[in-house]
Every structure is written in structure tokens, then in C-alpha cells.
Amino acid sequence: MRVDTDLICEERKRRAWSQEHLASVAGLGLRTVQRIESSGNASFESVSALASVLEVSVEDLCIAEEATHPLWRPRSASRLKAVVAGSVLIAAALLALNRTALAEQDVLLDVDAVVNGEQQTEARILNRAGENTELMIWKDYRLHITPAVLDNGDVRMTLNLQKLDGGQYVQVAGPRIVTPNGQQATIKSGWQNGDSIVIEITPTIQADTGES
């Protein structure tokens, strides 16, 4: 996929992030980020990860390549950019846009966290869709999870992994992932201080029986 390298660099520098830090929070390799910014080519998985941490849409990062019927949207008064290229990517983008979250659903979250190769957290949390849950992972790390049930039966989880720094928690990773109901999702993060965290979350939608 062709991506807008100007936008990636602009959003990264606006946050005062190095390429290495962007790679870390997005769960990508440093060489992958360097290659993307220099070549403008990236896999769909890499684009999704970058879009999540830079808080832009996948469509914003993609540049159409000879699309027969490209979709266009304005980014500024002087620039227009195609959002997606090719029928497969257009279909995927439209599908993502059409997925809406359903309220009043309970989601059971099974969370396992492995820090530096050792299991530190094993928790089972019952969440109301759309509500945030805070979970201590290990020492200076905590995780916020906000699940949402999509109309196709998948579960979208917005995550905010934070680290205690200078007496306050700061976000070090903020992916948004979508996984089928009952299927495990894995998130991996690592930092220069040597800490590595692997978080496995299995969301299970709770059936509403209507009984009290």
C-alpha cells in the first residue's frame, strides 16, 4: 500500500516522537518505520498500527494508486488526497466505516500480562460496552481497556497502556484492535529501558437473557 509519508512525519514530529519511539508504541520494528517513511510503502497491518497511535484513520494514511473510481476527501484548502486504492481496499474501508458500536452489552475480558518473560497479571473483568476499566499490569504500568460490541458481532477494544514517569502516568501505547467474539488478541510492546510487555485479551460478549 502507498502511504502519505508527509502526514506520518508531520504527526510524529508534532508529538516530538523519534522514529524509534513511533515504532515502539505502534508495535513495529524501527527498520519498518524507517522504510515506510523513506519509501512510502507499507502493509495493511503496519498502516493500521500507525493510524491507531497517530490518531488518524487508515483512509487518511493511504494514497490511491490508479484507482478507477477513487474516493476523495479534503485535508486542507490546498490539498486533496485519495483515501483508498483498489476495489479490495475500498471494500475493506467501507466495511470498517459501516461497523458501529452497540450499547448496553456486557463484555467479559480475560486479560493475561507477561512482563519481561514472566506472567504478572491474570484477571477476568466484566465490562459494560463503552465503559473504561483500569488494570494494574506490573509495578509502574497500568492498562485502560474500553470495549465496544460492533454490529457484526466483533469486539473493538481501545487500549491505553501507561507508565509511571515523574510521578504521573503517561501513555506509551494506544492501539485500537478488533477481534471476533471469543478470540484472543495479543499486543506486544517494548522500551529502551529493557522492559517488554505482552498482553493477551480475550473478549466474550455476554448474552442478555432478560432475566434479573
End-to-end CA distance of the chain: 50
Which CATH number describes the domain made up of 5-98? 1.10.260.40
Beta-sheet pairing, 168-173 with 141-150: unpaired
Amino acid at 185: A
| Alpha-carbon gap, residue 32 to 12, rounded angstroms | 15
Per-residue pLDDT in tens (0 to 9) along the chain, 212 residues: 788 888 899 899 988 999 999 999 989 889 888 888 888 888 888 888 898 889 888 888 887 544 333 333 333 323 333 333 333 344 444 444 444 445 467 889 898 888 888 887 888 888 877 788 888 887 778 888 888 888 888 888 888 888 887 888 888 777 888 889 999 888 877 655 677 888 889 999 887 645 44
Q: Output Rg (C-alpha) for the chain, integer angstroms.
A: 19
The Cα angle at residue 20 between residues 116 and 76, in degrees rounded to 5: 130
Which residues on neighbouring strands pair with residue 157, listed in sequence order?
147, 177
How many Cα atoms within 13 Å fall on the side-chain side of residue 20? Answer: 4
By the 10 Å C-beta count (0-12 exposed, 13-18 middle, 19+ buried), 177 is classed as: middle
pLDDT number for residue 92: 45
Q: Going by C-beta distance under 8 Å and a sequence separation of 6 or more, which residues neighbour residue 155?
A: 107, 147, 148, 149, 178, 179, 180, 181, 203, 205
Q: At residue 146, what are phi and psi to the nearest 5 degrees? A: -125, 105
| Alpha-carbon gap, residue 129 to 205, rounded angstroms | 9
Which residues on neighbouring strands pair with residue 110, listed in sequence order?
124, 202
Domain coordinates in residue numbering, the chain = 5-98, 102-206
